[in-house]
Amino acid sequence: MSNGLIGKKLGMTQVYSYDGHRIPVTVLQVGPCVVLQKKTVERDGYNAIQLGFERQKAQRPYTNNAMLGHFKKAGQGAFRKIVEFRVENIDEYNEGDEISLAQFAAAGEKVAVTGTSKGRGFQGVMKRHGFRGGRMTHGGMNRRGPGSIGQCAYPGKVFKGHRMAGRTGGKRVTVQNLEVVEVDVQNNLLLVKGAVPGSNNNFVLIRRKKKGSE
């Protein structure tokens, strides 16, 4: 079975365990995903399946001609999100197969969720890197600035990777070892303990933890 599925972050809520403890959870809409294409070692150099998530009309303006041809070849309709997942045994899958949440994970298992973090725009060093800033007393000249960024004569440059102000967020982030609290197969909902990167209604990738890995 595929070790990954495509989903969408719906938001956060809380549930209570049998002993009365409050558990913060993130609600994910996971699948069902449709197998659009199979890739094999003989033809492509590796085994993988291409999954489609969330059907849409083919006439959408952001569906280009290349994707229209790809969807037409697969014969499964158009989808908003397409992701490729590596698999070990490609013979277990056929084009057109639907992979649901019931075949993916159960309560108590650990999963890794990948998403795009919220974009924060251009931020200073205090918010971006946690700098404490300068003296806030009378006469302080450096309140929220970065301070010195290098030397004068030698080496006479700013080293790469120096922490400075810049664009924050909007990056691909993976949170590992999230515990599955509840699985609602009927509504395709997966409740995982803790926070998941990204805004509500953003697409996320959910991968199962491989057996024998820590």
Other beta carbons within 10 Å of 136: 8
Classified as helix, coil or strand, 166 is: strand
Q: What would the mean pLDDT of 54-78 be, rounded to a whole number?
A: 77
Quickly state the pLDDT bin for 174 (edges 50, 70, 90). very high
Q: In whole angstroms, what is the distance from residue 107 CA to residue 133 CA?
A: 45
Query: 13 pLDDT exceeds 70?
Result: yes
Q: Are residues 164 and 136 in the same domain?
A: yes
| Percentage of residues in the chain having pLDDT higher than 90 | 42
Q: What local confidence, expressed as pLDDT, does residue 214 receive?
A: 47
Q: Are residues 109 and 189 in the same domain?
A: yes
Indicate the average pLDDT of the chain.
Answer: 87
**Phi, psi angle pair for 75, to nearest 5°:** 70, 25
Q: Are residues 189 and 128 in the same domain?
A: no
Q: Are residues 36 and 95 in the same domain?
A: yes
Q: What local confidence, expressed as pLDDT, does residue 2 receive?
A: 66
Residue 106 lies in a domain: yes
Specify the DSSP class assigned to residue 214: -
- Can you give the pTM of this predicted structure? 0.81
Q: What local confidence, expressed as pLDDT, does residue 68 receive?
A: 81
Q: Are residues 73 and 176 in the same domain?
A: yes
Q: What local confidence, expressed as pLDDT, does residue 196 receive?
A: 94
Query: 27 pLDDT exceeds 90?
Result: yes
Q: Are residues 143 and 179 in the same domain?
A: no
Q: Are residues 150 and 176 in the same domain?
A: no
Residue 141 lies in a domain: yes
Q: In whole angstroms, what is the distance from residue 182 CA to residue 194 CA?
A: 13
The residue segments making up the domain with residue 138 are: 121-168
| Percentage of residues in the chain having pLDDT higher than 70 | 95
Q: Which residue has the higher pLDDT, 129 or 90?
A: 129
Q: Are residues 158 and 91 in the same domain?
A: no
Quickly state the pLDDT bin for 125 (edges 50, 70, 90). very high
Query: 102 pLDDT exceeds 90?
Result: no
Q: Are residues 128 and 50 in the same domain?
A: no
Q: What would the mean pLDDT of 129-146 be, rounded to a whole number?
A: 90
Q: Are residues 44 and 150 in the same domain?
A: no
Residue 214 lies in a domain: no
Query: 106 pLDDT exceeds 90?
Result: no
Q: What local confidence, expressed as pLDDT, does residue 155 receive?
A: 86
CATH number, domain with residue 113 = 2.40.30.10
Q: Are residues 73 and 133 in the same domain?
A: no
The count of structural domains within the chain is: 2
- Helix/strand/coil percent split, the chain, to 5: 10, 40, 50
